[in-house]
Structure 1
Amino acid sequence: MGHFSSMFNGLARSFSIKKAKKNNSKSDVKEAVEEMAREAKKKELILKSSGCINADGSNNLASVFSKRGEKGVNQDCAIVWEGFGFEEDMIFCGIFDGHGPWGHFVAKQVRNSMPITLLCNWQETLSQTTLAEPKTGLDESDKTLQRFAVWKYLYLKTCADVDQELEHHRKIDSFNSGTTALTVVRQGEVIYVANVGDSRAVLATVSEDGSLTAIQLTVDFKPNIPQEEERIIGCNGRVFCLQDEPGVHRVWQPEEESPGLAMSRAFGDYCIKEYGLVSVPEVTQRHISIRDQFVIMATDGVWDVITNQEAIDIVSSTAERSKAAKRLVEQAVRAWNRKRRGIAMDDISAVCLFFHSSSSLSHDIHPATTC
């Protein structure tokens, strides 16, 4: 199976270590994966609060920070899992923005469920040789495409499973509540990005002239994007702005001014699912070059008041990388108070994932520091 199968070896070893049955039922697989997560947490490889994570020997450093807004409980949450799937060169990062009366519960449920479900689906894929093994005679570009096809399949299945599990959750009412979900998996020198909703991932890379440039990796899935609006209207949903919110397009039921969602993709929100809201992720990949320095994942509370370029400038000029997310959020708070005075501040959260322990290029990126 060669290099391609190495992305599955860590999980395969973990099941061997846990002596899982050869013919694992879904419950057996989930139990083994949950045990893996508990072990990773004991080793401080999982971060679910503001702070940073930088495992010994890892090229990754992830900085996380979240600040509650002025609308009540903080409905944002995040996760970083170093050594994801028992693979030393893998890291999983996710950021989630809940909304509605149960939004904070929904966001945390999806945060906790998504990496576990992804690994469960990963284990299932191990037994499907047509997916797990590339065809012989393929060149490296074709193998890259096939690896991406597997990740896309895994994410599509995972998001469908997570949304279905959420719908039937006995303790969380997600009929009128939901969450966005933006995740990045780094595996070696490739990142896989899956986005549901209007959080955003922005890459910082060094251009030919040596300047640090922002590249937006995701689409903000707002209801007025043509293909999103077309789908919603095709399902008898409606898209329009309220008079006191010009420019803020929302999704509405056919005959009621409810729920008024400001995004076109989300987990939960089953009151509007049959009218065009979906939890299908957009999945993309990028090979990390020496010029690519870090990626910022942030909820819309950041992007409402900070541009992509401003964000990477703030992060790159932070003296300690471990404090990069905090400084970005603090700058967004200041910008919100300046630009949106009188409007209740949204929850503001960010994850900054650095790719290199130090840079071989001459620009204003500081080396990683111990957390």
Structure 2
Amino acid sequence: MRQVAARAVRTTCKCTVRGLSRIGGRPRRSILLHQYQHYPGAASFTARRFSTSPLSPSPLPRKPPQRQQQQQQQQQQHALTSSMYFRRLSITLVSGLVGYGAWYGYKGDNSNQAAGNSYSTTTTTDPARDATPTRNVLVVGADELHTGTFVGDGPIAKSADGTDNNVLEMLTPEQATEKLRRNEASFMVNRGQGVLRYDVVQLASNNPIEDDHAEKIVEVASSSTGEAGDNANNDWMFWGVFDGHAGWTTSAKLRQSLIGVVARELNTTHKAASKLGATPSPEAVDAAIKAGFLRLDNEIVHESVEKVFKSNSKRAAAELLGPALSGSCALLAFYDSSSKTLRTACTGDSRAVLGRRSESGKWTATPLSEDQTGSNPNEVARMRKAHPGEERVIHHGRVLGGLEPTRAFGDASYKWSKAISDRLRASFFSRGSSPYLKTPPYVTAEPVVTTTTISPERGDFLVLATDGLWEMLTNEEVVGLVGKWIENQAAEQSSSQLGSLWSKMFSSGKGLPVEGGNGKGPDGQKIPIRQQQWGLSPNGERFVVKDKNVATHLIRNALGGKNEEQVCALLTLVPPFSRRYRDDLTVQVIFFGNGQNTGEVLVNEEATSPPQPRLQAKL
């Protein structure tokens, strides 16, 4: 360890150099000496640097990239390079720090190289300073991160514009928990019709968050009287997660409209079958869901343009074209309580996974959707068949080399003709079309619909989440984490009705109570690439149960679980830096089962952080 004294404004700052051994690998040599600008009261600053190579923006750009991608090498070589890059990055993230949550700026212009592969992490102590406050900080540069300890109670010059270097005080574990739970909600479905409860939570990475979600229960009129509520088993229940990109307006439109549009299409289909004294066929129900998706996307993409041209108003264009110019994936779950049938409609790369108890007492994970991206061979084959002879229809795993999902709402630049795009750009505003645009549309909002029969008496549950969760956890880890949470709840609530029911549905043991799983998933599903980025290996012992809301429980464990320091680090980062390490996160978990039949849906206060959200009105 080497120590130097550095002059600072109005006071003297001691800067102690320390290194950190690489976790899961050989030690790295790295030191950092800086002169920091302090105000009176700043006693000392200890800095640590945890990366020997610059960090670039996330290797996982969510949707249309900002810059032209460089020519990639062969897939195998690229995968190896990525893996090495992620391990370098992991050193930055696992170095945990705690603090308070405000931006601080610093100036640094000196750096030296140390020899040797072993470094001490012992700090220099001064008994006279035992009572001086110590604040742990994260130094965020344009291309690298450092951690450090600031000793003193004086302020530091603030800088939060993303330029040069910024120092961010780390969140404490308590503050991290508050941030995790800020947007959680839980509801008890006391209708006795196959659903016990559902939990939801969101965590932003972008500002504003580009994700959205919706939940609704629709009472279906009895076929005998035509009045809602006659039949005890005629609820339609909907849950949806919407992963926006290039803005938030498309996902907001889906939250407002998608469930209503699909419910009306289903109602029309059921009425037509009822006139014939029958029930709709499964194919007719699937077709109704698809028709609802396509109807809304046509309104977003094409009807909006017609209104803009008719009004000839830039103000109207600004209001109407927002959802068309941005985009959003959509994942919708539709549960018909009368038939115990669950349908999932997927447009894009959000994912639905069913948890079901096996004969062994553990849980099995069954994906109910397929990630629809340019890396999915099924989607690639579909796209090439629809656009024969166009070599760049899928380029580097993206539509025309730009957009990752092959199905999405909005994204009109991949759906409008070149003539419409040029006219909009000339008269109003619009994103330019791709130079490779030949035979649009290249992207569709038509979903892939899957059907599953639910067994409420066995405690089936469904997890719906945007792709940010699946970048961090496998299907089996998610289902096992919910199973572990159920196990914990049953132990704590063995005397309650819910706890008594769940206590019969698991077998105790170490690790996660889930069967199988190699982390790869079926063809077309993304692997949890963030685990590689952070240098983690699959290990069920790294997880923890601390939250009453199971959706919050999943996100906590996705960010680090027992590694409280990593959780704090990832939650401390703010936009635009946070996007390098995690995406927006939206998670819904639905528990199936036969509860009390009071006809009510009530806020579950125990698993909902105040202020309590309003229950959405029925259609």
Scaled by the length of structure 1, the TM-score of the pair is 0.70
Q: Distance in 2 between matches of 1:342 and 1:353?
A: 28
Q: Distance in 1 between matches of 2:284 and 2:277?
A: 10
SS in 1 for 2:581: coil
Q: How does 1:136-147 map to 2 (within 5 A)?
A: 147=281
Percent identity over paired residues:
24
The one-letter amino acid of 1:162's match is: L
Give the aligned length.
Answer: 288
1:209, distance to aligned residue in structure 2 (A)? 1.8
Q: How does 1:213-228 map to 2 (within 5 A)?
A: 213-228=364-379
| Aligned mate of 1:184, from 322, 333, 341 | 333
Does residue 1:113 correspond to 2:257, yes or no?
A: yes
Q: Distance in 1 between matches of 2:267 and 2:336?
A: 16
Scaled by the length of structure 2, the TM-score of the pair is 0.43
| Aligned position for 1:17 | none
Q: Is residue 350–residue 465 contact of structure 2 (8 Å, CA) maintained in 1? A: yes
| Aligned mate of 2:469, from 295, 299, 302 | 302
Q: Is residue 125–residue 132 contact of structure 1 (8 Å, CA) maintained in 2? A: no
Q: How does 1:79-118 map to 2 (within 5 A)?
A: 79-83=214-218, 85=220, 89-100=235-246, 103-118=247-262
Q: How does 1:236-275 map to 2 (within 5 A)?
A: 236=390, 238-241=393-396, 249-252=397-400, 260-273=402-415, 274-275=440-441
Q: Distance in 2 between matches of 1:56 and 1:67?
A: 28
Q: How does 1:299-338 map to 2 (within 5 A)?
A: 299-318=466-485, 319=488, 323-334=549-560
| Aligned mate of 1:348, from 576, 585, 594 | 585
Deviates more, 1:204-213 or 1:178-187: 204-213
1:190, distance to aligned residue in structure 2 (A)? 1.3
1:99, distance to aligned residue in structure 2 (A)? 0.3
Q: Deviations over 1:170-202 (max 9, x none)?
A: 534244421011011111211111111100000
Q: Distance in 2 between matches of 1:149 and 1:131?
A: 18
Q: Is residue 218–residue 237 contact of structure 2 (8 Å, CA) maintained in 1? A: yes
1:133, distance to aligned residue in structure 2 (A)? 4.3
Q: Distance in 2 between matches of 1:185 and 1:219?
A: 17
Deviates more, 1:113-122 or 1:318-327: 318-327
| Aligned position for 1:23 | none
Query: Cα 1:238–1:178, aligned 2, differ >3 Å: closer, same or farther?
Result: same
Query: Cα 1:287–1:270, aligned 2, differ >3 Å: closer, same or farther?
Result: same
| Aligned mate of 2:291, from 154, 157, 161 | 157
Does residue 1:284 correspond to 2:426, yes or no?
A: no
Q: Distance in 2 between matches of 1:187 and 1:322?
A: 28
Q: Is residue 106–residue 172 contact of structure 1 (8 Å, CA) maintained in 2? A: no
The one-letter amino acid of 1:333's match is: L
Query: Cα 1:190–1:370, aligned 2, differ >3 Å: closer, same or farther?
Result: farther
Structure exhibiting the larger radius of gyration computed from Cα positions:
2
Q: Deviations over 1:271-293 (max 9, x none)?
A: 11325211111111111124352
Query: Cα 1:132–1:230, aligned 2, differ >3 Å: closer, same or farther?
Result: farther
Query: Cα 1:331–1:56, aligned 2, differ >3 Å: closer, same or farther?
Result: same
Q: Deviations over 1:252-275 (max 9, x none)?
A: 2xxxx5xx1111110111111325
More helix by share: 1
Q: Distance in 2 between matches of 1:224 and 1:109?
A: 27
The one-letter amino acid of 1:196's match is: T
The one-letter amino acid of 1:343's match is: R
Q: Deviations over 1:14-40 (max 9, x none)?
A: xxxxxxxxxxxxxxxxxxxxxxxxxxx
Q: Distance in 2 between matches of 1:280 and 1:131?
A: 28
Query: Cα 1:355–1:327, aligned 2, differ >3 Å: closer, same or farther?
Result: same
| Aligned position for 1:246 | none
Which segments of 5 or more consecutive residues in structure 2 lack a partner in the other structure? Answer: 1-182, 221-227, 305-318, 416-439, 490-546, 571-577, 596-603, 608-619
Deviates more, 1:228-237 or 1:81-90: 81-90
1:122, distance to aligned residue in structure 2 (A)? 2.8
Q: Distance in 2 between matches of 1:131 and 1:287?
A: 26
Q: Is residue 54–residue 62 contact of structure 1 (8 Å, CA) maintained in 2? A: yes
Q: Distance in 1 between matches of 2:238 and 2:412?
A: 27
Q: Deviations over 1:85-132 (max 9, x none)?
A: 5665331100000001xx311101012211111222233324423897
| Aligned mate of 1:62, from 195, 198, 202 | 198
Q: Deviations over 1:298-318 (max 9, x none)?
A: 010000110111111222222
